Amino acid sequence: MKRRTFRAEGAVVGRAVADAVASELGMPEAEARKLVDVGAVYIAGRRSRDAAAKLTAGQVVMVVLEEGGQSALAESVPAPVLRVLYEDADVIAVDKPAGLTAQPTEGRVGGSLVDLVSAHLGREAGLVHRLDRETSGVTVFGKSADATSALAAEFREGRARKRYVAATGPGLPPSGTVDLPLSKDPSRPGRWRATRAANGVPALTDFRTLHSGPEFCVVELLPHTGRTHQLRAHLTALGAPILGDARYGGAKKAGGMEASRCLLHAQALELAHPSTGQVLRVEAAVPEDLLRFFTAVGVAVPQGPIGGAQGS
């Protein structure tokens, strides 16, 4: 990755971001504005898309000029269409597509779900929970500071309920609860292990197997906790990793069907509305790549109220 960093000092202080970038990097202001527009400019570690924002003394500006050998100004892939599932004055719930990061990552050029929702709102969206990049499904945002705080408390205090569905390897029992702590796997960076042999964080998942066959299972997952990679690690501990989950050993094909990504979908979410206190339930249709596994075995996708398990 090629990048340039400078600190707002002297004559740069008080100048617009695009103007300062153009001056410091020796480029036309129009080009600097494009860098801001594509999300390649970070101020104090946070992505800035406001070319006219004024810099204050001491702020560090980082500009990503090239990533993965490609210019930040190269023709980019069109942003996915934002699928809004619910919206009112306080809350917006969207269906996150697989392959999209939940939030911007420093040094990564391109959009994220936060970027898409913020563009839709015309202001910064309040992120309160996250899905893995390959996971699809329901994600909620607050539209004000108060709403964001209230929604975040629903997750933090374990009142939000979540229902996921997935296609996994074979061998799952009809139903059960996985009560195994999670800890980072020292032998495999980026992966978590579900075991009592390490000093991990508590993690609890209820599951119900909707179909069990010799090649794959279709399962409903109700997490009580919301740990990183919880469902992926728990299913792996059961000997049935999610199909397409390369990091955890999931098969790339089953039943003659391809699994080109981790086939995990956040299908439903229930939480208290920040203003009314009434239960707000939002559901997201299962995407085609996972739905075909349901269809192939004639299994219906769970619908309606989420039973039993609470997510955080």
**pLDDT tens per residue, range 244-279:** 998 899 999 999 999 999 999 999 999 999 999 999
CA nearest neighbour of 176 among 209, 202, 201: 209
Provide the token pair at 92.
Answer: 């917006």
132 is catalytic: yes
Q: Global pTM? A: 0.76
**E strand or H helix at 47:** strand 46-47
- Tell me how far apart the alpha carbons of residues 134 and 250 are, in angstroms, rounded to a whole number: 13
CA nearest neighbour of 291 among 282, 305, 301: 301
pLDDT tops 80 at residue 162? yes
- Output the CA angle 299-303-305, nearest 5 degrees: 145
Q: Which domains does the chain have, with CATH numbers?
A: 2-71 (3.10.290.10), 84-156 (3.30.2350.10), 161-269+286-296 (3.30.2350.10)
Could you say which of 90, 95, 115, 132 is catalytic?
A: 132
**pLDDT tens per residue, range 189-237:** 889 999 998 889 999 999 999 999 999 999 999 999 999 999 999 999 9
CA nearest neighbour of 37 among 4, 8, 9, 64: 64
